[in-house]
């Protein structure tokens, strides 16, 4: 049953990623792949929040497994961010590649920490 729930939630996460990326791309027409940036940062924030709840026993570990590994695993995309960074380098946009690669990673880590911090508010 767990594998089925993981597959279903992962598929849902991928579908939401597709929609969010399309919405962001339609509004922000720049070389920087803002859709992927928004997706990875928001996914990191949510994963941090879920992990924080589980760490303090405020949510079951199964929630982190299904929503964290499943939904957010399907929603976030490190591989796409990596490929988009390489494409920026190939197109001569080294500065944007640096912002995308390093900036996205740093912002995602901070967002995960922020999510854990937000979970503290729900005591």
Residues found in the chain: 123
Closest CA to 52 of 122, 119, 113: 119
Q: For residues 118 and 46, what is the distance between their CA atoms, to the nearest angstrom? A: 10
Q: For residues 51 and 114, what is the distance between their CA atoms, to the nearest angstrom? A: 11
Write out the chain's pLDDT in tens, 123 residues: 889 999 999 999 999 999 999 999 999 999 999 999 999 999 999 999 999 999 999 999 999 999 999 999 999 999 999 999 999 999 999 999 999 999 999 999 999 999 999 999 987
Residue matched to tokens 């390093």: 102
pTM of the model: 0.93
Residue matched to tokens 């640096």: 98
The residue ranges of every structural domain in the chain are 2-120
Q: What is the pLDDT of residue 122?
A: 87
């Amino acid at each position: 049953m767990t594998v089925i729930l993981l597959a279903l939630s992962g598929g849902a996460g991928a579908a939401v990623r597709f929609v969010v990326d399309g919405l962001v791309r339609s509004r922000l027409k720049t070389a920087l792949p803002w859709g992927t940036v928004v997706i990875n940062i928001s996914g990191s924030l949510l994963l941090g929040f879920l992990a924080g709840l589980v760490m303090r026993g405020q949510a079951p570990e199964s929630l982190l497994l299904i929503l964290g590994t499943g939904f957010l695993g399907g929603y976030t995309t490190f591989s796409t961010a990596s490929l988009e960074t390489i494409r920026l380098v190939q197109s001569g946009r080294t500065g944007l590649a640096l912002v995308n690669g390093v900036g996205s990673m740093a912002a995602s880590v901070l967002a995960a920490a922020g999510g854990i911090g937000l979970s503290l508010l729900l005591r």
